[in-house]
Every structure is written in C-alpha cells, then in structure tokens.
Amino acid sequence: MPVEQLTNPQMDVRSTETILDRTLSVWDPRAECRFVVARPADEPTLWEEYLEGAVAGYRKYGAEKALEYRQIQAGDTTALFFVAIDSNGTVAAGVRAQGPYLVADQAHAITEWGTDPGAPAVRRMIEDRLPFGVVEAKGAWVADTASRRGELVGALGRFATFSMDLLDVQFMLATAASHVLDTWRTTGGVVADHIAPVPYPDDRYETRLMWWDRSRRRGRAESMQLAQLLLTTSRPTPSAGIATGTGGNVVRPMRSVS
C-alpha cells in the first residue's frame, strides 16, 4: 500500500508542547513485560538504562554512529521514550521519539539522505505533513537475552506508534533497515517505496523511510491497550511492583484517542 498524498490538513497546526505530564505504564501480556513511557528528565535512571541497552544493541552490529550517543545523552532532544521492563525488573527493550517537528530539518531522516538524489523527496514528504503534526521514532532496540523476544519486537513497534497519541500528532516517521521492514509493517507502517534506500549508517545497510498515520483505525486490542496506558501511571521510580503489574495510580485521560 503506497503512502498517501496529502491535500488539506485534517488537524490544526501542532505545537511542540507535549501532553505527557507524568510517567505512564501498562502490562503487555504478549511480551510479558510492563511498558513504561516517560520524559527523560522525569525518569533519569530509566533513561540511563535505555541508553545502556541502546549502546549495547547498536554496538553489536557496529552501528554506533547511527545512535549518535553524544547528541542524545542529555535527553533534551527526546520528547518521550518507551522501555519494556520484564518480570525480573530488567529493561529489555526501548525506543524514543523526537518532535513534534516545526521544520523538516529537525528530522534525522534529512541527515540520513544527505545529498542522495532522494533527499528532496524525503524533505517534501516531511514538509507536506508538518501541518498535521510529525514525530520521529529513533533508537529502537531489543536485548538478545529477552524472553519472548519475537513478541517483544512486535510490541516495541506497536508501542512506538502510541507516540502519535501522546504527542497529539497525526504522523510518525522512522528510518529502518530492510531486514526489519516486515516487522514494522505489522504495526501499520508504510514504506515510501518511491524513495530509494540509502546506505546508512554505512554500506552494509539499506535504510528505508516509513510512515505511520494516526487516522488509520487501530485494531480493538491496540486501542484497548492505549486506553489502559493512558489511565495508569507508575510511581516516580518504577519498581519491581510496576514491572510485574502491581503498581499504578489513576491519571487524567488524554484529550483524544484515535
């Protein structure tokens, strides 16, 4: 299914203010992990654990360049991040989101295509979607030692799409190596097939541009899980109780859920 061309915006122009005002969490029965979403400044210990896992995961493939650790370490370029905490209290996976963007140059995809012939098309797609709201998913990783790793990979992609709801935008973009495209497609991602892949971070990889559209209706299970996420919050420092599903307090619902 091709990425749709846009005409008139269906949403108001977005601001960069996040509506995530506290740490949220929800148990995922398929991955048997509790997913926690927070801002780096609100959960510095979890943020450090996310970074440690990302460094280990990217280093395993010799792709540390793509992580850009020094640029993201402080957390000020990350709007929110998700981590999966297993029943032992170990952070087993994570992903972060940047945005909402005001200009296309804020998107890391612009850097990845650089001077490639496809760069103008990448820029045009981002600029066309800015009035609807755009965030970018980055730094996804899953630990090799995680139990139910296959289910966790799928769950991580599914939770990343909740960034659109938490940041109140219509679109999420991500760049992904060819070998993970099928997994991201199962979460609603659509590859921009008219844009040729680029060798990023090096010639071993073919990186493609993908888009998610919040206006596309989710399945009942995903909608229920999003609703549960929005109605629970972890304590300031997630504990083993949070990881196993015994912690949490009620918070206000989000303004809207697709």
- Smallest Cα–Cα separation from 210: which of 223, 193, 224, 227? 193
How many helices, marked H, and strands, marked E, lie in the chain? 10, 8
Q: What is the pLDDT of residue 96?
A: 97
Asked whether residue 18 carries a pLDDT value surpassing 60, the answer given is no
| Predicted confidence (pLDDT) per residue in 62-115, tens digit | 787 787 888 999 999 999 999 999 988 999 999 999 999 999 999 999 999 999
Q: How confident is the model at residue 151 (pLDDT cuts 50, 70, 90)?
A: very high
| Predicted confidence (pLDDT) per residue in 198-211, tens digit | 999 888 889 999 99
Asked whether residue 8 carries a pLDDT value surpassing 80, the answer given is no
**Lowest mean per-residue pLDDT among 12-16, 74-78, 134-138, 191-195:** 12-16
% of the chain residues with pLDDT over 90: 63
Burial of 151 (0-12, 13-18, 19+ CB in 10 A): middle
Q: What is the pLDDT of residue 202?
A: 87
Asked whether residue 254 carries a pLDDT value surpassing 90, the answer given is no
In this prediction, residues 27-48 reach a mean pLDDT of 95
Instruction: Indicate the DSSP class of residue 242.
Output: H
The answer to whether the peptide bond before residue 100 is cis (omega within 30 degrees of 0) is yes
- With beta carbons less than 8 A apart as the criterion, state whether 122 and 160 touch: no
| H helical segments located in the chain | 44-60, 64-67, 69-72, 108-113, 119-129, 149-160, 163-166, 181-185, 220-230, 240-244
In this prediction, residues 37-53 reach a mean pLDDT of 96
Average pLDDT over the chain, rounded to whole?
84
Q: How far apart are CA 134 and CA 100, in angstroms?
A: 5
Q: What is the pLDDT of residue 245?
A: 45
Asked whether residue 120 carries a pLDDT value surpassing 90, the answer given is yes
In this prediction, residues 23-39 reach a mean pLDDT of 94
Asked whether residue 214 carries a pLDDT value surpassing 60, the answer given is yes
- With beta carbons less than 8 A apart as the criterion, state whether 148 and 32 touch: yes
Q: How confident is the model at residue 179 (pLDDT cuts 50, 70, 90)?
A: confident
Asked whether residue 33 carries a pLDDT value surpassing 60, the answer given is yes
Asked whether residue 148 carries a pLDDT value surpassing 80, the answer given is yes
Q: What is the pLDDT of residue 2?
A: 54
In this prediction, residues 176-188 reach a mean pLDDT of 88
Q: What is the pLDDT of residue 19?
A: 57
